[in-house]
């Protein structure tokens, strides 16, 4: 329960209405469990900065304690591992890998699709001999190999 009205744009995008969340728990009620689940784990999301901003802000607001921890962005990982697609959106990558998402723009549907995408990206990561968090961080921090690129078609420019 967000404790405020859901904006019309969000309701159209997600098909979530105020009535659907009216009896749901407030974030403060579940914050200790969310913090416990995140402790010692990597927070993974497609465009992790966007989701982390909400989760960490709400956790700090509910508990009074800042939230820290390692994060992994599947958009960033896809940029390095899936050069053959022009868009790294969750929808585009799901289509590319044949991942079904019956609840697009809803937390559970997008989370399940992101888990499946992460598995596909990890399969591609195997060829780069990345076997630890430190190695993954180094892989993502390195500049991508410089290849001569063809001039981009304006309609295929990456939008993430």
Catalytic residue of the set 46, 57, 105, 128: 105
| Cα(82)–Cα(93) distance, integer angstroms | 9
Could you tell me the pLDDT band of residue 108, with boundaries at 50, 70 and 90?
Answer: confident
In the residue annotation, 105 being an active-site residue is answered as yes
Residue 91 in contact with residue 61, Cβ under 8 Å?
no
Kindly report the pTM of this predicted structure.
0.80
| Cα(125)–Cα(122) distance, integer angstroms | 5
Report the pLDDT value the prediction gives residue 155, as an integer from 0 to 100. Answer: 40
Residue 28 has pLDDT above 80, yes or no: yes
Q: What average pLDDT is seen over the chain?
A: 87
pLDDT tens-place string over residues 128-153:
989 899 999 999 998 765 443 443 43
Average pLDDT over residues 95-102: 92
Report the pLDDT value the prediction gives residue 9, as an integer from 0 to 100. Answer: 92
């Amino acid at each position: 329960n967000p404790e405020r009205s859901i904006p019309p744009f969000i309701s159209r995008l997600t098909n979530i209405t105020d009535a659907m969340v009216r009896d749901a728990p407030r974030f403060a009620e579940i914050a200790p469990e969310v913090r416990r689940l995140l402790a010692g784990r990597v927070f993974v999301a497609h465009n992790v900065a966007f989701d982390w901003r909400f989760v960490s802000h709400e956790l700090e607001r509910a508990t009074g304690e800042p939230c820290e921890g390692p994060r992994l962005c599947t958009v960033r990982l896809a940029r390095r591992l899936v050069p053959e697609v022009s868009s790294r959106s969750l929808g585009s990558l799901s289509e590319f890998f044949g991942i079904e998402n019956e609840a697009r723009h809803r937390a559970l549907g997008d989370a399940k699709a992101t888990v499946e995408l992460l598995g596909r990206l990890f399969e591609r990561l195997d060829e780069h001999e990345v076997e630890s968090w430190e190695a993954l961080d180094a892989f993502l921090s390195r500049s991508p190999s410089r290849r001569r690129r063809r001039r981009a078609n304006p309609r295929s420019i990456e939008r993430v």
